[in-house]
Amino acid sequence: MDKFKLVMQKVIQFLQEAKAELKKVTWPTPKQTMASTAVVIVISVVVSIYLGVIDFGLVKLIKFILG
């Protein structure tokens, strides 16, 4: 039973410390969140197009080489 109490004390201490740290966080505004999301989406689309073109080119090259 003592082990259980010790574990529970550690869990409670951890949760209290986590709550205190979350109060220190500077959360982004909705405008900043939308801007960051837009950047991620645009970069993802650009990278996927780039990789698609490279893949298409390599497939054509392999088919040309192998006949």
pTM score, whole prediction: 0.64
The domain spans of the chain are 31-67
Confidence of residue 67 (pLDDT cuts 50, 70, 90): confident
26 vs 21: CA distance, rounded Å: 11
**pLDDT (tens digit, 9 = 90+) per residue, 19-32?**
999 999 999 999 99
**pLDDT (tens digit, 9 = 90+) per residue, 12-61?**
999 999 999 999 999 999 999 999 999 999 999 999 999 999 999 999 99
**Sign of the CA dihedral with 18 first, then 19, 21, and 27 last:** positive
